[in-house]
Amino acid sequence: MTGTTTRSLPPVREQARAVRRRHGGYAGLRVAGGVVTAVLVAGAAVGSVPGMLRQSATQLLDLPDDLDRVVVQAPIGDVEVRELRAGERAQVEAQVSWALDQPELELLDGPDDGSVLVQAPCGDNLGQCSADFSLAVPPGTDVEVAGGFGDVDVSTTGAVEASATGGDLTIGGSPERVELDSTMGDVTVESRGETPPELVRVDSTMGDVRVVLPRGFSYAVTTDADLGDAEVTVDRVADSPYVVDVGTTMGDVAVTSAAPSGDG
């Protein structure tokens, strides 16, 4: 060969990148390499402590009323984030479990003004402790979850970025933007608002990906399912402002419209 061929990205991929650049992007959370081995080894470590040695406690802290963005670090444990109901206070609850040193729920200044970092560090005893987080946040709060082994469930009207090594990712509500990275687990995005997210990006290694979007809109959709099936039933327009870029290496992909109101 006498030359080099440069392959350009599909237009929808370029649109997805443009949306991320326009919003400044968040730090990348993608977990790479050793997928099956890492998940199995880490799972065995979590369950290796005899039950009689484990202790548990519930910890609760108030979140700022003017919170704009919350970042949750959860190496081992589930994360649930939802918006406040009438009369509630913004709070985070942690169900911690440990065998050696008790983890403490912490609120730290986040990377941006108006942001908070939530964590309950396990220190060097990662295999002997865990923390499940449940957050109630002000409407419109942007949510970032750096998950490890556990399920992540977020319902918000803000932007969402989340990752998980071993566990399901479920995003609901009416998010402005969704960016997800999953190593092993199913991914579900159900946008039930009047306006679709401007970007839904999902990168999965092992697991099914299901995206449900508002009816009555056209979407710029790109899907990849290397070892599975891809189904797209939404109206597709290449230059739509609503970009959907989803893929999985091992699993099926479905991008569909929400059922009409009143349908069971």
* pLDDT for the residue numbered 54: 82
Q: Where are the domains positioned within the chain? A: 11-32+52-257
| Cα dihedral across residues 237, 240, 242, 246: positive or negative | positive
Please say if the pLDDT value at position 242 is more than 90: yes
H or E element, residue 170: strand 169-173
Question: How many beta carbons lie within 10 A of that of residue 246, not counting itself?
Answer: 27
Say whether domain 11-32+52-257 belongs to CATH 1.10.10.
Answer: no
Residue 163 near residue 90 (C-beta atoms within 8 A)? no
131: its two tokens:
């923390």
Q: Which stretch of 119-128, 150-159, 241-250 has the lowest confidence by average pLDDT?
A: 119-128
- Report d(CA 54, CA 158) in Å as an integer: 37
pLDDT of residue 146: 97
| More reliable by pLDDT, 252 or 50 | 252
First to last CA, the chain: 59
Q: Stretch 8-24: mean pLDDT, rounded?
A: 53
Strand partners, 129: 98
DSSP for residue 6: P
What are the tokens at 23?
């919003």
Task: For residue 15, name the pLDDT band (cuts at 50, 70, 90).
Answer: low
Amino acid making up residue 142 = D
In one-letter notation, the amino acid at residue 241 is: P
State both tokens at 207. Answer: 């697991």
Residue 200 belongs to what H/E stretch?
strand 199-206
Contacts with 231 (C-beta within 8 Å, 6 or more apart), sequence order: 252, 253, 254, 255, 256
Round to whole Å and give the CA distance between 156 and 150: 19
The segment with the largest mean pLDDT, out of 21-30, 100-109, 198-207, is: 198-207
21 sits in which H/E element: helix 11-22
